[in-house]
Structures are given as C-alpha cells and as structure tokens.
Structure 1
Amino acid sequence: MRAFAYQELVIRHGGVILRTSEEYIDGPEERAKARSSETECWDFILEEYKKAANDLPESWANSDAGRLTKGAAYGMQARAALYAKRWDKAIEACEEVLKLDYTLLPGTSYESYYKIFTSVNNKELILPVYYEKGQNKKQHNFDTYFCPPFDSKPWTGGANNGAAATPSDEYASSFDIKVNGVYQAFDWDKLNVYGNKPFDNREPRFYASILYNGASWKGRTLQLYVDGDDGYMDFSTTGQDNVHRSTTGYIFRKFMSNDPEYNFTNVLSGQYWIEMRLAEIYLIRSEAYARKNEFEKAYADLKTIRDRVGLPQLEQKNNWSDYLTDLAKERICELGLEGHRYFDLIRWGIAVQTLNQKRLHGIKIEKKGNDFAYEKVECDTQDRLFPERYTIFPIPFSELQTNILCEQNDLWK
C-alpha cells in the first residue's frame, strides 16, 4: 500500500519527498525535507513491490478471497516499471504474474466478456476492490450518478438520476464493426454501408462497455434519443446539473449494475472496482517489448488480447510510432473507463497534441418514424486547453509554504 500510494504521487507530480523510515516518524524538526528524484522514487517503489511479492501468498481461501496477493504485487511492479521506463523489469514482472493461476476469460460474446466485471473472484482479476450492496453495508453510488436516467423512475417517479458523465463518441467509435463478415474501423461517414444501424455488429467489448440507443437493459429498450425516455440534451455549461440526460448519446455499461434490487434509496451499488486484471499485463509486456524494438513479441501479446474477443491479427509494424497507434486503440477498447487513458497520454508524450485545442463529440439521435437520424455534435462549447505544463501536477502551494526545502515543478514556476 505504501508503494501504491507513492506510485500515485509520482505519476502525477514527479519526484516526491520520501519519508520511509520504519523505525520512527519524522518529527517537527524534519518538516523541511527536499524532494527525492523521480529515479530514486521509482527505485523505492519497485523494491517495495518486490518485498511485498516475496511476503504475500498466491491466493487466499474462502472469506479472505480478495485480499492482496503475490500476483497483485508483481502486477503493480510491472505497471510501475513501465512508468519508470525500465522495460526489462516490466517484462520480468509480467512473466512472474503469468506463472500464477490467472487466465483471460472467454470473450467472443459480450455476455462472456462482461463476466470480467460481474463474476466475483474470476480468474482474470489480479487486484479487485470489493464492496457489499445493502443498507449499512460498504456500498457506493456509481449507478446513482451514471445509470440510464429512466432507471430511477420506479423509485423516484421520474428520471432523477444518472448521466452525470457519459462516454464520448471518440471512445465509442474506437470499437470496430463487422461488415460482410470482416471487422473494420467504424466510421460515421459509412452509415449507408451499415444499413443505418451503427450499433449492430460491433465487437464484443463495445457491448460490454457502452449502453446505446436501442440497447436491451433491465427488461426495456433504452431510448437515448431526443424526447426519448432516457433522453438527450445538447451540451451546455449552465443549467445541466439536474437535467440527467446524456449529451453524447451514450451511457456507461462497464461497472454498471443491472440488479433489479437496486432502489436508489438505501440499497445502492455493490459492484467491485478492478485496479488490475490480466489483460493489462499482456498490454504492459507488449509495450515493453516494443520499446526494446522486439515488435514480433509485442504483436504476439496484442494478438492474445484480440484473439479473446474474436478480432483478426494486426499487421506487424516495426517502428514505435505505428505500433503506438495499434497499442493505443487496444488499450482504449480493452481498458476504457478503468482509469488509464489520461496517464497513457502523459507518459507517451502525446497528451498536448491529443487534448489541446480539441473538442469532444457525441451523437444526437432523433426518431424518424421507425428509423433514426444521427448527427455528430460537439460536446464542448470552446476548444479545450491543455498546455505542456498540464502534463505534470503542480506541488500544492500549502506544501511549499510548510516545507521550505520543497521546490515547485519547473513547468509551474
């Protein structure tokens, strides 16, 4: 846990102050202490994970299932090594995980793939965080904030919950579509080719990750169109907090509960969070191989991820730039909504070009008789601002005041 806490600090702020003595707690006279270098921080973090891996068991039985394991320590060490640009260490840690009793769940249908997120203690989970649904239990409010708006009507008398944030079309359109039996990149300009059915024949991860207009959900059909039960609203910067309508035409499905006992009052969400699962290990190892110019091995790991959901093997690229295009798409489709994308952009050095002076989009859907009309719309009222200094978090002003030896990051001076 100490390694994880420091890792979360370092990926945001760079080198931080290491206070790691196990003999005593720094006293008031040691309040002023300089930041360690990022290299020193990663050295410490990786060694902590190594010690944890040596101490922890491979698994826990019965009611102890879900506690930290050897696989969790090695898995987090692999992620840390990737961020630290220590490619050999990342590969080594991944291979330690792959020696253990984990496996990718079947995923050629979205129902089978979705079990990753609904089947407690399944064999793909490396580091899950469990909750317990029920009054006075360790539950949470994910569904209250993000469910399809009409879900709350039986309990509140109207669509008074949900859609606090919704998936962008940039995310939704990353998932391939099958045309004449062959998967290809999705393109809104090819609606006629798709028979005006943009949500049919998408790859399984689309259906396990996103709820869309016409999706079957809790015994009904979602109506994410203008004036539909779940509705749509044009994005604005005011008056939106209490409307509960999607501004993108989509709703989250990954981590959403379809449990009919959820009542938006005292029985809330009990779904588990996944901090790490086996698919990420293959993606980490693939990236580390590519950094070492071992592209055959890198694409072999991408093939493992794609085989699971029935997607064809990618043509091997032999340079980092082209490989990154393939890797980024796989990480979007496989790990979307699991907390990786922002930090991927930062560590790849492409956050500014991806986010600055850009706008995200959604799909406005209107019912036309028995069919629908689709319009791609902007979900920003102005271009987004993401200058270079946003690629690292500043040191809080209060910390600088408290600790005179702590210096601000150069981009924020």
Structure 2
Amino acid sequence: MYTNFSFLKRSVLGALCIAGLAGGITACKDSFLDVEPQGQQRQTQFFTNQEQAIQGVNSIYANLRSWPVVAFAHLAITTLSSDDAEKGSVAGDAAFLNDYDNFTFTATQGILNDYWGGQYQGINLCNQVLAYVPTINMDAALKTRLLAEAKFLRAYHYFNLVRAYGGVPLVLIPVTAESSPDQLNPVRNSSAEVYTQIVQDLTDAGAALPARYASTDLGRATKGAALGMLSKVKLYQKQWADVLSLSDQVIALGYTLAPDYEKMFRIEGENGPESIFEIQAQTIPGNCDASNSQWAEVQGSRPQFGWGFFNPTADLEAAYEANDKRKDATILFRGETTPQGDKIDPAAPNPRYNQKAYVPSSVDRACGYGKDQNVRILRLGEILLINAEAANELGQTAKALAAVNQVRARAGLTPLTTTDQATLRQAIWKERRVELAMENGDRFFDLVRQGRAGTVLRAQGKQFVDGKNEVFAIPQQQINITGGKLTQNPGY
C-alpha cells in the first residue's frame, strides 16, 4: 500500500522559499513553488490564516526531501565518512567524494556548504512558522500542534548540524532582507548551547504532539517521534537515566517490530508498525519535482536502479553473524535476484549496493529511479537498542538484554547472555551497526560519541586525524560571508 501523502499534496510544498543564513542558500528550487502568488509574497504577508499556517509547516517537511538534505551532501558527510560505505559508482564519476571517504576534504568544498545550507533552510522555515503562526486567528488546538511540529523539525536540523560541525550559530528567529547585520552574520554558539536548544524544542514538541494521526496526516511528527528523537539526543550526551526513561516512554506507546526486516524497507512497508518518523516521498503524476527525493536514486544499483554511489563495504559485510537475516536485506549483491524478482546485473560496476535504497522495477518510473522511497529516520528497532545501551550503562543488565534480544530475535539470531557490562556494551554497539547500517547516517557519529572513531576508521585505511576529524570543516563560504565572525574548527 502506498504512503498516504495527501497532507503534502494539499500544501504549497515550500511556497515560502525564503533564503536562510545570508549566502547559505543561493536560490529557491522551483519544486518548492507549487502555488502562486503566495510563494512570491513576503512571509509576514503570507501568514494570515489557518490554511497558510498549515502550508508553512508543510513547506518544512518538503525541505526534508531536498537534494542537500538527503542526497550527496547528506550521504557524503554521514555515511561515506564511516566504515560502512565506500564511494561506489565508477572511478571517474564524482571523484570529489573520495575526499569524504579518505578525510582529505577541505573547507572550500561545496558539499560542506550544501549540507550547511540545506539544514539552515529548514531551520529558517521552522523559525517563520514559530514567529508568525502564533498571531493567526485559527483553531487553537491545531495551532499548538503546528508549532510543536515546527519545533520538532528545527531540533532535527540542529541535531544534524551539531553532530556534523560542532557548535554552530543558533538562529531562532526568521532571517529576512530586513534582518540586522548581526542576524545575517551570526557567530557560533557552543555545542552545549545548541544541545540545550534541541532538548528544549523536543521537550516542548513531545508535550504537545499527538501519539498518532488520521490517515490524511500520515507522516507528520508525533509524540513518539519527539520523545524518540530526544532519547537519541540524550544518548549522544550520555545522560543515561534520561535516555532510559524517554526510550521506555516511546516503547510504551505501542509500536511493534515489523515481522519482516526486508519488507520494512520496501514502499509497501513505509509507515508500518515499527515506523516512528520517516521523510515522506511519493511521485505525483505531472509534477515530478514536487514530492519525491533522490535518496534512493543516487544509491541504487548502477545502471539498473540508480547511480550506484555510497556502497556497503566488505568490512560491513563481514560484521554480520552467520544466518543474520539483516545482511541480505541490507546489502544488494551483484548478480543476485531480489525477493521481488529483479536480477541485479552480474556485470554491475560494484560488488555491493544499499538494498535499503532498492526500489523494485515494478514501481512506476515516470519520475525516474526510486523517487517514491521514503527515508527512514527513526523506528522502534533503534529505540530498543538505545534503551539497551542506557540500561547497560546504568547496570540494569537484564533490562538491557531483554531489549537487545528483541532485535536479535527478529534477525533470526540466538539471544545474548553475557552479564559483563563492557562485553555487553560492545555487543550492543555492534548490534546497532548491523541493525541500522546504510539507513539513517548514524554510524560515523556513533563512532565519534563512542570515542573510537580514529581507531576504527584508520584500520579501514582512512586518514582520520584525532582532535580534528571528529567534526567537519565549517564551510569557508560561510566564514567569508560573515567577514570572519564564524570561526573554523581546529585543524582545518
């Protein structure tokens, strides 16, 4: 069954295309200008009624699918940097990606600025909603919910930024042509300050968002999404008691593990019983740029299903235990026949592709390869592993084993039984790797928070430098725009 996408079909899909930080976004994409003349109005003129409030929030969701947020920039920074992925494709195609595989990139490279700009575009759209919707005369309950959605999405973007760059400018009001020089050219906040804001936004969102929606609003942020994301943020801060409490709350909301791991990543498995938050994508006939993403297209097996980039490594393949069902559901091997009956070209240029990004040939390609594929951001499998990690750190071994073994049982594996905290920690970290591989871009950031990025990545031949490469370079373009007010990370 296809994802219900009606709430975005009714929207302007980002008609409020207003630049984020000065110079951070060079232009608005036509795909976000579906309704006129609203898209040409100033934002303070636009937010005048309830329908426009809904459209404003929908524009934030639309930005989640944009090229810099889910495609090359996102995958280079979050996935190619890890031991899970290598460049893929063919030798001469997008050779600049090798710099992210090898940690030889410089601050002037465009992908760093693309990722920065895509996140701040989303933040500015959130800030517009949070600034202008409160003054609209409209249904009070709906207003509260829309503001909570905007806070959830702003927190999501800032979580992406703080993990990638460390401390970044904390911009909480809309940036417009009339903004002051200090607003247009902000200084960096500390990582701690950014995390404090993320926690506040997610706490506010969790208190206001509903646990579920009617089918016409499927895909919007829920209470589970806010609490689940907050548990993940607290995980990165090592605030174990909060992590355990929050993940317990999410588990109690009634999500269940999807019975078939492989089918969960097909289009018919979108927004299933395990799903907590997904970036929605669906082809709209006659408007191919309106609501689809290129997350799957850039990773699909070349040349049948996509461009062939960001491929699973041999090291990832070797990380799976014998008989782990997740291996064949995550790695699409050259020459194999998929459960959906597609034979992958035996002469494909790469031995492995991301099977979670695979969209079968039976799916309509009127708008290209894989444009209908949702991007999975948060699901119960991850929450159980977050819960297990927190329980283990707090010495609650039985609780940790119960959570992690639910995930292993679905994978067809025997239960873990160790009661040694250090051994169980390593087992949970490994389980997190193979459960979430090639999915939501956490592996590099996990290695950093675990304090072992240098050791693991140098063993894979990467030129990772301790004290430098835990974060990426602040885009030089942004430093130049601010006249040097933005400072560079050490070593760059």
TM-score by length of 1: 0.72
Q: 2:488 aligns with which of 400, 408, 412?
A: 408
1:238-253 alignment, distance < 5 Å: 245-246=349-350, 249-253=351-355
Output one character per residue of 1:321-343: Cα deviation in whole Å (capped at 9) or x when no partner: x3332122211211001111111
Contact 1:148 1:162 (C-alpha < 8 Å) held by counterparts: yes
C-alpha change, 1:254 and 1:393, in structure 2 (3 Å) is same
Tell me how far apart the structure 1 counterparts of residues 183 and 275 of structure 2 sit (CA, whole Å): 41
Tell me how far apart the structure 1 counterparts of residues 438 and 363 of structure 2 sit (CA, whole Å): 24
Q: 2:270 aligns with which of 109, 114, 120?
A: 120
C-alpha change, 1:354 and 1:101, in structure 2 (3 Å) is same
Q: Which residue of 2 aligns with 1:396?
A: 475
Deviation at 1:220, TM superposition (A): 5.2
C-alpha change, 1:309 and 1:32, in structure 2 (3 Å) is closer
Structure with bigger gyration radius: 1
Q: 2:464 aligns with which of 383, 386, 394?
A: 386
Contact 1:148 1:230 (C-alpha < 8 Å) held by counterparts: no
Structure with greater proportional helix content: 2
C-alpha change, 1:71 and 1:407, in structure 2 (3 Å) is same
Contact 1:31 1:403 (C-alpha < 8 Å) held by counterparts: no
Deviation at 1:252, TM superposition (A): 2.0
Contact 1:293 1:318 (C-alpha < 8 Å) held by counterparts: no
Deviation at 1:82, TM superposition (A): 0.8
Q: Which residue of 2 aligns with 1:225?
A: none
Q: 2:374 aligns with which of 260, 269, 272?
A: 272
Tell me how far apart the structure 1 counterparts of residues 303 and 159 of structure 2 sit (CA, whole Å): 40
Deviation at 1:405, TM superposition (A): 5.0
Tell me how far apart the structure 2 counterparts of residues 57 and 269 of structure 1 sit (CA, whole Å): 29
| Paired residue total | 330
Deviation at 1:272, TM superposition (A): 0.9
Q: Which residue of 2 aligns with 1:131?
A: 281
Percent sequence identity over matched residues?
28
Deviation at 1:391, TM superposition (A): 0.8
Contact 2:283 2:367 (C-alpha < 8 Å) held by counterparts: no
C-alpha change, 1:18 and 1:26, in structure 2 (3 Å) is farther
More off after superposition, 113-122 vs 94-103: 113-122
Deviation at 1:23, TM superposition (A): 12
DSSP 3-state at the match of 1:166 = strand
Contact 1:144 1:264 (C-alpha < 8 Å) held by counterparts: no
Q: 2:383 aligns with which of 281, 285, 306?
A: 281
C-alpha change, 1:403 and 1:69, in structure 2 (3 Å) is farther
Output one character per residue of 1:68-98: Cα deviation in whole Å (capped at 9) or x when no partner: 1111111111111111221112112112211
C-alpha change, 1:134 and 1:330, in structure 2 (3 Å) is same
1:337-352 alignment, distance < 5 Å: 337-338=438-439, 339-352=441-454
Q: Which residue of 2 aligns with 1:193?
A: none
Q: Which residue of 2 aligns with 1:36?
A: 189
DSSP 3-state at the match of 2:262 = helix
C-alpha change, 1:341 and 1:268, in structure 2 (3 Å) is closer
Deviation at 1:162, TM superposition (A): 4.2
C-alpha change, 1:294 and 1:407, in structure 2 (3 Å) is farther
Q: Which residue of 2 aligns with 1:219?
A: 341
Tell me how far apart the structure 1 counterparts of residues 179 and 419 of structure 2 sit (CA, whole Å): 51
Matched, 1:230 2:346: yes
DSSP 3-state at the match of 2:278 = strand
Tell me how far apart the structure 2 counterparts of residues 30 and 340 of structure 1 sit (CA, whole Å): 31
C-alpha change, 1:165 and 1:29, in structure 2 (3 Å) is closer
Contact 1:33 1:406 (C-alpha < 8 Å) held by counterparts: yes
More off after superposition, 9-18 vs 209-218: 209-218
Provide the alpha-carbon RMSD of the alignment: 2.7
C-alpha change, 1:264 and 1:169, in structure 2 (3 Å) is farther
Contact 2:405 2:415 (C-alpha < 8 Å) held by counterparts: yes
Q: 1:9 aligns with which of 158, 161, 181?
A: 161
Q: Which residue of 2 aligns with 1:328?
A: 429
Deviation at 1:58, TM superposition (A): 0.9
Tell me how far apart the structure 2 counterparts of residues 219 and 317 of structure 1 sit (CA, whole Å): 43
Tell me how far apart the structure 2 counterparts of residues 250 and 266 of structure 1 sit (CA, whole Å): 22
TM-score by length of 2: 0.61
Deviation at 1:67, TM superposition (A): 1.0
* Letter in structure 2 aligned against 1:174: A
Tell me how far apart the structure 2 counterparts of residues 126 and 74 of structure 1 sit (CA, whole Å): 10
Q: 1:207 aligns with which of 315, 328, 338?
A: 328
* Letter in structure 2 aligned against 1:326: A
C-alpha change, 1:220 and 1:23, in structure 2 (3 Å) is closer
Matched, 1:168 2:313: yes
Tell me how far apart the structure 2 counterparts of residues 341 and 397 of structure 1 sit (CA, whole Å): 26
DSSP 3-state at the match of 1:126 = strand
Structure 1 stretches of 5 or more lacking a match?
107-111, 153-160, 178-201, 223-228, 233-244, 360-382
Matched, 1:104 2:228: no
Q: Which residue of 2 aligns with 1:308?
A: 410
C-alpha change, 1:398 and 1:251, in structure 2 (3 Å) is closer
Deviation at 1:265, TM superposition (A): 6.3
C-alpha change, 1:264 and 1:47, in structure 2 (3 Å) is same
Structure 2 stretches of 5 or more lacking a match?
1-152
Tell me how far apart the structure 2 counterparts of residues 63 and 297 of structure 1 sit (CA, whole Å): 37
More off after superposition, 138-147 vs 345-354: 138-147
